[in-house]
Amino acid sequence: MRASIGDLVLIESNSAEKHRREGEILEVRGADGAPPYVVRWSDGHEGLFYPGPDARVRPRDAASGSGG
């Protein structure tokens, strides 16, 4: 997984009790865009994040909807 500052992290849920989580990457601590990431989640919480198999990154350009 590779990401840049400003990209969105999406964590999909396979359970009806859990909803999808979204957050903005504030800092990339790994080399060349690799994890871990510091993420601000949609609830305002910030923390260090190591993505699992249910996580994906949406590039900031796709997230903003500006396609050029």
pLDDT tens, position by position, 3-43: 999 999 999 877 767 788 999 999 999 999 999 999 999 99
Query: How much is the average pLDDT of 31-60?
Result: 96
Query: Would you state the structure tokens that stand for residue 49, as one six-digit string?
Result: 């994040």
CA gap 20, 34 in Å, rounded = 22
CA gap 35, 66 in Å, rounded = 26
Q: What is the pTM of this model?
A: 0.81
Q: How confident is the model at residue 68 (pLDDT cuts 50, 70, 90)?
A: very low
pLDDT at 63: 53
Residue found by looking up tokens 């900031």 in the block: 60
pLDDT at 20: 85
